[in-house]
Amino acid sequence: MTNHTPGRNCLIVAVLLLAALFGACKPSGEESSSHPPVVVFKHSKLFGDPRPLAQLLAEFERANPGVRVRAETLPAASDAQHQYYATNLAAGAADFDVFALDVIWVAEFARAGWLRDLSHLLPAAEREAFFRGPIEAVTWEGRAFALPWFMDAGVLYYRKDLLDKNHLAPPRTWDELLHAARTVTRTESGVHGFVWQGKQYEGLVCNALEYLWSHGGEVLRNGQVVLDSAANRAALTFMRELLTSGVTPEFVTTLTEEPAREIFGRGAALFLRNWPYAWRLFEQQGSAVRGKVGVSALPHFIGGKSAATLGGWQLGVNRHSRNPQAAERLAQYLTSPAAQKVLALAYGYNPPRRALYEDPELLAAQPFFAELRAVYERARPRPVTPQYVRLSQVLQAEFSGAVAGLKSPSQALIDAQRQAEAILR
Amino acid sequence: MKLVRGMGLILVAVWSLAPFAWLLITSVKPTPELTQLPPLLPSAATGAHYLAVFTGHPFLRIIANSAVVAAASTLLALAIGATAAFALARLRVRHAPLILVAVLAVSMFPPIATVSPLFLAINAVGLRDTLMALIVTYTTFALPLAIWLLTNFFRQVPVEIYLAARVDGCSAFQAFTRVILPLSAPGLIAAALLVFIFCWNEFLYALSFTSSPAARTIPVGIALFPGLHVVPWGEIAAASIVVTLPLVVLAFAFQRRIIEGLTAGAVKG
Amino acid sequence: MTREHPGLFLAPAAVTLGAVALFPALAVLWLSLEERSPLLAAARFVGFDNYTRLIADARFWNALANTVYFSAVSVALEVLLGLLVALLLARAFRGRALLYSIILLPWAIPTVVSARLWEWLYNADYGVLNYLLGTHVNWLGSPGWALHAAILMDVWKATPFVALLLIAGLQTIPRELYQAAALDGAGAWTTFRRITLPLLVPLLLVVLVFRTIDAFRVFDAIYVLTGGGPANSTETVSIYAYKVLFQALEFGYGSAVAVSVLAVVALLTAVYARLLRGSMT
């Protein structure tokens, strides 16, 4: 290269060109966020009519003159949302104020310093109003960093008609489930015994923990990894047996929530483990299993207690929010009994507040709410640790290895124990 | 022998097309029939999935994003690439072969190795979750392909033509824009097609740099399609057909140019 | 004549490649020596700690083995089948242009779309593949099958590409050689072994390495088809690096994992460049 100045001119032209393009391509909707009175609320898309939520937000604006709310939705995949929030918050983003967090993120985000401490919004009396699980999930080192918005827990769906036909009661233990599935599939062709979520992903951890816990097993106890235990071995061995016995089809290792729900929903399975959302879809017009579905707490091992993995979403306030007071008020408002009731009626989102499970209007709309209450009382959060994502990646792979028969359950637990210790050390 | 050859050819065509045929069938199957086999064919074709794709999702926005990103990156990569390729093909550049090899090496960079520093840099300059982040990245990683292809095509224009233009008083730049470029139009088209396809299809950078629907491109949109409460196979199929169509049109309209470009890009110096 | 200023012509490309390609490639090496995560207040220089961790990381070696297996098997199949297809298509026939367009399609569509498509074909419960074959194979859900299912998809997608490159090579073989062979009474097989294959070897090698580089970077297909499961049996190095980088947000260690891909690809690229130069002269 012989001549330097023209080269620099070229660079300037290139930069200007890029800058011009940048102006043209900036996504709309980001410019107005600097106006102080706008509170931006990020959440995943609600399935159903958007109006009830819009009305809630309008009501909040009326009650808080001078504050405007803008709601923005994110893709439904939890992983994609995690990446969005983590990368934006790490970069110090202030263009959203209130946002919905999956239960498993609170500790991580709190530890990273991305969330406002909301302990003052959850005094002792208020904490009592919620189920224990969600309160545990929003607490990190004794402080509350989010407010429970709606909750989920694993439940068992069963085909009432098929059980009745064979004079069977809904199973209370895993052995009873095994027995019922064997009995029914012997005579019903084209019906799988039991489907659940066995793909290598977060859902598998939710499923597996329910077996571990219902055998008295644990992942962490007082901060120590206790994966490699006799109880966990027996529980994981049982999961593998579900496949080898033919009660659960081999391809359960590809199933996430929806494919599993779809199989049960077209009448091709006796039992299904899923979240409460599936109920409404089974009971809707045109469903092949309408009126034939029962819901109960998940079975347990003999000597253990039924356990359900806690899911659901919490509302947190961005530490860099420019309107923290208004943001806190919005989070508080959306988690109030009145707002949670609206969400439950309009979208079937289950409130984390105990009192709503005695609300006559809600009970009439969601007849299985009474059943759910018992499950929610016991719903347990996954291990609350800022390293949850890494821990989960290990559990996903090792549980998957045991379920798919790639390694023995005891080997999988030994391997998981070693890796989990390294992560949490 | 002839029969064997004919059957072989049919087999090749069927092997390439059969999955697409299934995609097309799936996209017009009514939802209850999607999870039933037999029958292979739908009882009646439905347009419901196509309708749902365009009404229930920000799909048009996503397609527009891809179009903007791919078009802008193609233009930039071609403009910058052609300028460099001209120098490498016709001007006295020291170590031109070495430069070409270095450029080639860049085209081989595994995206996973550059994604983390680029991501941090994009965050630092405030381009996170913008189309601009993708345009800059795609322009850069399409540049090696453009430079290689165009160097090759420019060299096919006889050097005498260039020298004649220079003797007639054109500056090097004028000779480039007024003589070499018009004569290399087919090569430019070939390069543009390949660069466009690369940008239209790129996934890892798009997945890592963007997160909101406002900046999402087609591959990410298709990959993240499942909603919380539905895996709409019919809609995924319909969406896949829609985003594949432009490429089908390109493949049929510009088949010769694309193959020319492919061959030149991978195996020629 | 006025001066040419070649530097001026090269500057925009040099600046772009330097800033957006070369800088990150060097920066990733630096990042891989740091402990850096949003969970930590600040990045910390840790020397080669990430690499000692990498060497002891069984999951990394599993991912590397998967990647090598995926690349070796899929590229071998693609070159073999591609050669077969090229020989079929090399001679002119009616409708050849149409067939060219058809075999371009699998290559041209986004990998994400083809992965979605194959995920649907592979569905164990109601997928068309099991239906047509009359089998009940758990394509994507069993550790024995999943990686092979991904390989089959890659073969479908990349074989046409290989075939098209080889056709170009076949067409450069002088006709006279074949005519002479025919005069000598050589059969089809002898002609192929004595003339076509030897003349095609340099090109075959180039294509082989080019495809291997591409296959070794595999990400999109696996991300959509299986996400790395079951039991990490389809987790490639790129997938692993992505999970460490963007899910666990460990930018230091994730960069070290990514550098391993960079190292292997750099080695292959050196081989490729040498082969290219060989085939040009």
Q: Where are chain A's structural domains?
A: 35-151+311-378, 155-307+387-424
* Neighbouring chains to B with at least 3 Cβ pairs closer than 8 Å: A, C
In chain C, the domains with their CATH numbers are: 57-280 (1.10.3720.10)
CB contact at 8 A, A306 and A300: yes
Taking contacts as CB-CB distances below 8 angstroms, the residues of chain C near A112 are 38-39
**Which residue does chain B place closest to C104, by CA atoms?**
B251
Between 3.90.850.10, 3.40.50.450, 3.40.190.10, 3.40.630.30, what CATH number should domain A155-307+387-424 receive? 3.40.190.10
Of A274, A2, A333, A33, nearest to A153 by C-alpha is A274
The DSSP 8-state label assigned to residue A173 in this structure reads B
Res C47: pLDDT:
92
Please give the Cα distance from A79 to A392 (Å, whole number).
Answer: 12
Q: Among partner residues C138, C229, C249, which is closest to A200 by beta-carbon distance? A: C229
Of A70, A49, A47, A46, nearest to A58 by C-alpha is A70
Report yes or no: C248 at the B interface, CB cutoff 8 Å. Answer: no
Listed by number, the residues of chain C in 168-227 with a beta carbon closer than 8 Å to a beta carbon of chain A are 226-227
Q: What ipTM was predicted for this assembly?
A: 0.91
Report yes or no: A360 at the B interface, CB cutoff 8 Å. Answer: no
Please give the Cα distance from C50 to C6 (Å, whole number).
Answer: 43
Listed by number, the residues of chain B in 133-152 with a beta carbon closer than 8 Å to a beta carbon of chain C are 136-137, 139-141, 143-144, 147
Interchain CB distance below 8 Å, C11 and A90: no
CB contact at 8 A, A74 and A81: yes
- Rounded to a whole number of angstroms, the distance from the CA of C176 to the nearest CA of chain A is 47
Interchain CB distance below 8 Å, C38 and A403: no
Q: Is the pLDDT of residue B215 over 70?
A: yes
Of A374, A339, A334, nearest to A354 by C-alpha is A374
Q: Among partner residues C111, C116, C254, which is closest to B236 by beta-carbon distance? A: C116
Report yes or no: B33 at the A interface, CB cutoff 8 Å. Answer: no
Res A17: pLDDT:
44
CB atoms within 10 A of CB C44: 13
Q: Where are chain B's structural domains?
A: 1-46, 57-267
Residue C270 vs residues A422, B108, C68, C78, C209: alpha-carbon distances, Å: 38, 10, 18, 22, 10
Of B88, B17, B68, B26, nearest to B236 by C-alpha is B26
Kindly give the pairing relationship between strand A139-140 and strand A143-144: antiparallel
Q: Do domains A35-151+311-378 and A155-307+387-424 have the same CATH topology?
A: yes
Residues B9-23 pLDDT 10s: 999 999 999 999 999
Superfamily of domain B57-267: MetI-like (1.10.3720.10)
Topology (CATH level 3) of domain A35-151+311-378: D-Maltodextrin-Binding Protein; domain 2 (3.40.190)
Res C158: pLDDT:
95
**Which residue does chain A place closest to C247, by CA atoms?**
A83
In degrees, rounded to 5, the angle at the alpha carbon of residue A409 between the alpha carbons of residues A233 and C142 is 145
Listed by number, the residues of chain A in 80-119 with a beta carbon closer than 8 Å to a beta carbon of chain B are 80, 83-84, 87-88, 90-91, 93
Residues A337-386 pLDDT 10s: 999 999 999 888 899 999 999 999 999 988 888 889 999 999 999 999 99
Contacts with C243 (C-beta within 8 Å, 6 or more apart), sequence order: A393, C228
Q: Among partner residues C39, C227, C249, which is closest to A200 by beta-carbon distance? A: C227
**Which residue does chain B place closest to A288, by CA atoms?**
B32
Residues C16-50 pLDDT 10s: 999 899 999 999 999 999 998 876 667 889 999 99
Residues A149-175 pLDDT 10s: 999 999 999 999 999 999 999 999 999
Listed by number, the residues of chain C in 61-100 with a beta carbon closer than 8 Å to a beta carbon of chain B are 84-85, 88-89, 93, 97, 99-100
Res A281: pLDDT:
87
- Rounded to a whole number of angstroms, the distance from the CA of A85 to the nearest CA of chain B is 9
For chain A, counts of helices (H) and of strands (E): 18, 13
Residues B29-50 pLDDT 10s: 998 888 888 888 888 888 888 9
**Helix (H), strand (E), coil (C) string for C57-87:** CHHHHHHHHHHHHHHHHHHHHHHHHHHHHHH
Q: Is the pLDDT of residue C261 over 90?
A: yes
Please give the Cα distance from A63 to A55 (Å, whole number).
Answer: 12
C-alpha A389: how far from its chain's center? 14
Report yes or no: B103 at the C interface, CB cutoff 8 Å. Answer: yes
Res C73: pLDDT:
97
**Which residue does chain B place closest to C257, by CA atoms?**
B113
Interchain CB distance below 8 Å, C112 and B201: yes
- Rounded to a whole number of angstroms, the distance from the CA of C25 to the nearest CA of chain B is 6
Average pLDDT over residues A241-248: 96
Report yes or no: C128 at the A interface, CB cutoff 8 Å. Answer: no
